[in-house]
Chain A
Amino acid sequence: MTSFLSVGIDVGTTSTHLTFSRLTIANVAPANQSPLAKIEKREIVFQSQIHMTPLTADGNIDADAVYDLIAREYEKAAIKCEDIKVGAAIITGETALKRNAQEVMEKLSLLSGDLVAVSAGAHLEALLSSRGSGAAEASRQKRSTILNIDIGGGTMNLALHKNGALISTHCLGIGGRCVQLKSTNGGEFEVIAMTASAKAYFALGDCVFNEQTEDSKPLNVKLADLMRLADAIASDVVCFIKQDPRATALQSLPLTSLEIDWAVPDEIWLSGGVAEFCADEKMNRFEFSDLGGLLGDALVAKLRSSGLDVKIPNQPIRATVTGAGMFSMQVTGSTVDFDINCLPIRNVPLVRPFQTSEELLDRELVHSRLIAALARVDPEMRAATIAFELPTLNSVNDYQSLKKIAACLASAASRVARLQPFILIVREDLGMALGQLFRQAQADMERFALDSSSTASQKSAFTGALIVIDGIDTADGDFIDVGKPVSLDANEIARTLPVVLKTLVFGREH
């Protein structure tokens, strides 16, 4: 049994905060069986204050201020960054689209330990918040369909779970901070800033704002106008949930979906900063001088009046950060193969070049598929390496077939020698076997090259480092981080690798 500290850092449109958790990994296989690593316990050890995300005058994130803020929280918790083994620091929602998101994350990575994913992406963010809020677990325990909506300042992340399993995620580009306000004396509000999404609603005419305001002339609105706006957004969200085609406005909103399946949920859980208003009726609706409070109220009212069951978890604002700290990490199977010196590895693109296991038995095809995948993912040859996920090997898990597959892969690896280490991800519990056979094929190739010295230049064996892992759920991850091994027993017979999957690294949107 091994336990270590994990950090979750969330830099959102409105708020920035962190959580430290302790994760315990244990061997859960029955006695005398091949070991099986599992994260057995997750406990929160420290929660920071919720800070407003510091911005610069030009609307970017103030990277230095964010860094200082996080550093101070480490001090308060009396935790050093060397103590942190895994976790995720994520820039969420709209903030991720800011020009200097990359810079902020690079700064934060200085504060994080071994293996902290420094970005997430909308899909993972939705998943992390639904796990952090407890919606995913509730869906598993109650065997029901639960939709978690994490409403931040800039976006709403939706994750739909059925019997615990994630079946769909969506990200709507609107949140509590779509309108920023200032109270005026006459009981009206002056609109200081407005996002494109909010403007889209005005354009629909449902709301009575007169746009076309000149920059010099402030736009003043009444409380009733704001409530109508919040209602319009909430109605669309309800339409979306019920898959009602009348959710017209949503068509003009930035929406990214990872849709596997959809089902009308039994319960809706609301998390995120906006849900804080739903949890506390006494909270000032204009605490953050934006639409957050009204939007929260409108959502609860519309969802309930349309017959949907609404639940608010404890500390809704912390759902994402809790998820990031506690659920971003997975552990591999404990019979895997790796060269310890090349760990940890970060931000390695993940590709799936093969459709069926039969393709792996064809040496030339394996090579050409690897080359094609490389050209697609990394046309400029910038990535140090790439991880190849193999298709299911159930029909080829006999010794002879697997040996042939290992030989084909080793041969291809020797021809793309720049990939260091060579990384393979196997779905079934076959990582250690494939690793052994791969190394054997390497040794054979080396011997062959020595024996036939006349053609030695033709085939130089791949002798670089290797990582073969199994037992992880890669879902639709695009990038993978792999940490240093964790031993499950004193003799280090069973070792598992912590892994973080993510769906986005900065720089793709722009």
Chain B
Amino acid sequence: MSSISKTKQDELEDFSSATPARVAVGRAGARPLTKAWLKFRVDHALARDAVCSELSEEFIQSFAAANSYPFVQSAVSTRDEFIQFPPKGKVVDKIVLEKLKTICSSGNDVQIVISDGLSAKAVEKNAVDLLPMIVDGLKMNDISQGTPVVVRFGRVAVGDQIAFALQARLVINLIGERPGLSSAEGLSAYLTYNPSPQTISSDRTVVSNIHERGTPAVEAGAYIVRLVKTILERRVSGVELQKLS
């Protein structure tokens, strides 16, 4: 490193500070520096941990139970099964749906679902700030909403089923993103108008990268409220919404 001049080093720092990507990390012979290699291993381990992470008992108590949000599980019974059989994470048992119908109000404009997805850590980190912004904002705009439902081992489509059962016009699924090597705590919000078992991916409008170094959770919440208003007005979401003009 000492062979690099002060200005060059400044420049390299400028470049590397502009992106979370692993640029200008140096090398030793054909290999990365030990420091850079360890950093990579750490980030990779964090990503793997996030994928394997589950919603903690503490979070379930303080977030779901304390607010009386129903806590349900998809058709999957373990985290390993969830990772290995993606379709199973998209559905919940009929019995669970019937139970939800008895404890949640139906026929609302919006149904919010919070799912662990591929990073339970993302949910634990961001939902506490994101959810109340959406709930407050919908209230201020006189948009009716059902009781939020928290799902363990849930994938994006699990929201369709729940919202369909509760006859909501729009579902918001706040779900942990597949972790990358720069952030393991990113959350996404999937907004789907008229959700049903027939819903396909292009029907969804998504706000991704909600995390500390992406869009702050509170700001994303306010933005999602604006998206909800637009989607309810235009009666369409996803690619079709983008095509409107």
Contact = CB atoms under 8 A, between A and B. Distances in A.
B232 to A, nearest CB: 12
Contact of B215 (A337, A398, A429, A491): A429
B222 A491 contact: no
Interface of A: 32-34, 143, 163, 335, 337, 397-399, 402, 428-433, 435-437, 439-440, 443, 489-493
A279 B118 CA distance: 62
Contacts of B219: 34, 335, 429-433
Interface residues of B, dominant DSSP: helix
Contact of A429 (B136, B140, B216, B242): B216
Interface stretch (B53-61, B101-109, B202-210): B202-210
A436 B216 contact: no
B192 to A, nearest CB: 14
Nearest to B132: A399
A440 to B, nearest CB: 6
Interface in B195-245: 206-209, 214-223, 225-227, 230, 234, 241-242, 244-245
Given A33-B215, A399-B129, A490-B245, A436 B207 contact: no
B244 to A, nearest CB: 6
Nearest to B210: A34
Contacts of A432: 219, 222-223, 226
Contacts of B98: none
Given A430-B218, A436-B133, A34 B241 contact: no
B128 A399 contact: yes
Contacts of A491: 230, 234, 241, 244
A428 B222 contact: no
Contacts of B218: 397-399, 402, 430, 433, 437
Interface residues of B, number: 33
A436 B132 contact: no
Contacts of A489: 242
A26 to B, nearest CB: 15
Contacts of A431: 219
Residue from the set B128, B136, B215, B222 with the largest chain A CB neighbour count within 10 Å: B222
Given A399-B133, A440-B140, A433 B244 contact: no
A431 B220 CA distance: 11
Interface string B103-140: 00000000000000000000000001100110011001
Which residue among A335, A337, A428 has the maximum number of chain B CB atoms within 10 Å of its CB?
A335
A33 B207 contact: yes
B230 A493 contact: yes
A32 B140 contact: no
A431 B137 CA distance: 14
A32 B207 contact: yes
A163 B223 CA distance: 34
Nearest to A430: B219
Nearest to A165: B14
B80 interface: no
Contact of B222 (A163, A433, A492): A433
A335 B140 contact: no
A143 B14 contact: yes
Nearest to B242: A489
